[in-house]
Amino acid sequence: MFSFRVNFRSCRYWIAMVAGAGASVLFAQSDNVARYIEDVKEASSLYRTPDALGYYSSTENIASLPQSSEHEKIKIARSLRACVALGDMGGAATEAIPVLIEKFPSAEHVIIDRRMHYAAGQGSFEDWLQTEVVSKKNTFLLSEYLLEYNSAVKCEKFVETTYQKDIVDKDERNGRVREAIVDMFVIIKFHAGYCALARITGKDFGSDQARWREWWESTGGVFVPQAASESRPSGSGATSAALDDVIVKGKYRMVLGTGDEFIGTVEGVDDTSLILETAEGSAYTFNKGLVVEHELIEKPQQEGDFAEIKEQQTLTYAMLLKRRPAGLPLEVKLQSGATFEGKLQSVAAGELQLDVDGSTIPISKEAIATITAVARKQNKEKPQPEKPKGPFDTLITRNPATDEYGRPLANLTYVGKIKSDNGYQVVIKTLDDEELTFTYEQIVRRISHREKQKFSDIERYGKPLFCPEGTILIDLPPGKPGRPFFKVCMDKYEYPNREGTLPKGNVSYAEARKLCEAQGKRLCTMEEWEWACSGKEEYTYPYGWNFQEKICNTEGSKHPEPSGNRHNCASKYGTYDMVGNIFEWVSGPGGDPVLMGGPLSKCQTRSPGVGGGAKSQIGFRCCKSN
């Protein structure tokens, strides 16, 4: 091992750091650097996962490579995290350079997938192979096998992915592979030391350890370090640890290093990022290092916490919004005179949802006249009038009336059972036993809660499909051999499906399903998502056959953008951000969680759902069909 040389130029740099940032911050950083250096020293330079050991044992004709213990895996994981953290510090971690060069930590994993089936209609054979490689790389990064995704993604460009293939059988015509059975071996190398060195120094000498050693010895340890602000957001450092006390679902005032201030509810927090949803319904994802000040305004309300609310008490919408007493029995009277009685399911800035006999009834704030807390248990001695039994359907229609200025009044809500739908008009029988007819032009939103009828595929395709506002009709007609056919309404943007709003991340597969169901929709299937992205032309990307870096957000995992921010990142149908931005949950075979979309993915890229857990870089969009 070579020694670290101290010189006056580097001393002047540290003196300037102390003068500008304060000695206490510098000493805290020095302690962290020393701790991270020890983590790097304690682990081996190269760690191979059990799958990688098995692969190399067979390909290098070695009877058996030494197996790494669980303790060694923990040490290498700590070493990889230390490399990412040192890279975050930029020039403040200069002291670690000689150790990083000498150890040059890296990890290798091999994904083996045997008897993979390729068939015509899946793009060219080589393109299909590349799609599978990207899918398996995503699977490794998202699996948290050695490193959580939010840390791994900082070094994503230092992850080297190659593959080997054994073609077991193939049908080739006119020089083109028509069908094949393939064994694939995807070799993933995570160059953590290279990543840390490049981010600290601002230099790039590749994954060649000798070149880094040669550069360091030639400089004598004297160079202009990478400023911390160049490798991480302003204000990062010790501030991240100060956010350990943040309570999810708590209401906070957050001040950023940019001077911006936000007030909202913390929806999620992990090692590197924080998701804040404001009272206006806008969601924001911040690097924790950007937060320089935070203040708890209101602790999260416990579900069912309405002990202080009395029966027959008149409530304001603001009281419900502030306390969010889920499960509270309410009587909600509308401006139209209709009255609903049920349990509060959820409340947001512009809409509350009421559970009426098992059906979710959305009611806009503007449509409400009064809200009253009612008895939690019905008096059994007092006979109750017989009510229609659910489940019920809901129609939300445009209000034909206007105010004194000619502006339309709040939408009208009708609950009952839909009696008929001829593709142009819908007839609903309300809870008051009144039959009303509405045209499709009058209907803003339709939510069906009844059990779905069983249709054959062609009957389902031929049945009229009403697409709610904010969704796009994906119509893939029958007739082309080897291609599915279906009609489905798909959200135009990633949830919450609002242009100009950041997509909601940090959502589990189960939560995504519930959020879609609350809108009378469901998660899209793999097949629906893929063809909505590729279109009838079967494009590789929503915009065409060839990859173009600037059209979609390829930095989405690190820097998500508001929905629709890139106007050209749209499929032929008109759905946005299907590749780029964040990953999306879709429903796989048997309802298993699957991930599609995301940075550098193709329309056909499918990644296993890694347990369906919530991660800040995973969102979803909803679908609706007959």
Measuring CA to CA, how many Å separate 216 from each of 48, 138, 213, 221, 606?
A: 28, 34, 5, 6, 42
The pLDDT tens digits for 234-280 are 333 333 335 777 787 888 888 766 566 778 888 877 766 778 787 76
Per-residue pLDDT at 60: 63
Per-residue pLDDT at 308: 61
Per-residue pLDDT at 237: 34
Per-residue pLDDT at 531: 93
Asked if CATH classification 3.90.420.10 holds for the domain at 305-451, the reply, yes or no, is: no
- Average pLDDT score over the chain: 79
Gap between the Cα atoms of 614 and 612, Å rounded: 7
At 557, the amino acid letter reads S
Q: How buried is residue 57: exposed, middle or buried, by Cβ count under 10 Å (0-12/13-18/19+)?
A: middle
pLDDT > 70 in the chain, percent: 79
The mean pLDDT value for 512-531 works out to 92
Identify the CA nearest to 557 among candidates 577, 578, 582: 582
Band of pLDDT at residue 281, cut at 50, 70 and 90: low
Where is 151: in which H helix or E strand?
Answer: helix 149-152
Gap between the Cα atoms of 577 and 533, Å rounded: 9
pLDDT > 90 in the chain, percent: 19
Per-residue pLDDT at 392: 81
Per-residue pLDDT at 385: 56
The pLDDT tens digits for 570-588 are 999 999 999 988 999 999 8
- CB of 82 closer than 8 Å to CB of 68: no
- Tokens standing for 365? 């704030």
Measuring CA to CA, how many Å separate 408 from each of 54, 232, 352, 405, 469?
A: 69, 49, 21, 9, 17
At 341, the amino acid letter reads E
Gap between the Cα atoms of 281 and 501, Å rounded: 9
User: Worst-scoring range by mean pLDDT, 5-9, 110-114, 455-459, 507-511?
Assistant: 5-9
CATH class as words, domain 238-298: mainly beta
Per-residue pLDDT at 21: 35
The pLDDT tens digits for 420-463 are 877 678 899 988 888 999 988 888 887 776 555 555 566 677 67
Helices (H), 2-69: 8-21, 23-42, 50-59
Per-residue pLDDT at 181: 92
Gap between the Cα atoms of 288 and 151, Å rounded: 13
Per-residue pLDDT at 99: 92
The pLDDT tens digits for 366-416 are 889 999 988 755 444 455 555 566 678 888 899 988 888 888 888 898 988
Q: Assign domain 458-624 to its CATH superfamily.
A: paralog of FGE (formylglycine-generating enzyme) (3.90.1580.10)
Residue with the bigger pLDDT between 624 and 124: it is 624
User: Which residues sit opposite 256 in a β-bridge?
Assistant: 291
The pLDDT tens digits for 444-454 are 887 776 555 55
Residue with the bigger pLDDT between 207 and 300: it is 207
Q: Which residues of 395-421 are buried (b: 16+ CB within 10 A; e: fewer)?
A: bbbebeeeeeeeeeebbbbbbbbbeeb
Per-residue pLDDT at 533: 94
Phi, psi (degrees; rounded to nearest 5) at 47? -120, 130
Band of pLDDT at residue 523, cut at 50, 70 and 90: very high
Phi, psi (degrees; rounded to nearest 5) at 112? -110, 125
Q: Please state the domain extents for the chain.
A: 1-232, 238-298, 305-451, 458-624
Phi, psi (degrees; rounded to nearest 5) at 490? -120, 140
The pLDDT tens digits for 57-90 are 777 655 555 566 777 888 888 899 899 889 888 8
The mean pLDDT value for 164-185 works out to 88
Please tell me if the domain spanning 305-451 has the same topology as the one spanning 458-624.
Answer: no
Per-residue pLDDT at 201: 87
User: Worst-scoring range by mean pLDDT, 3-7, 265-269, 293-297, 415-419?
Assistant: 3-7
- Residue 577: strand, helix, or coil: coil
Per-residue pLDDT at 66: 57
The dihedral over CA atoms of 267, 271, 272, 274, expressed in degrees to the nearest 10, equals 10
Ordered strands of the 46-48 beta sheet:
46-48, 106-119, 176-190, 159-173
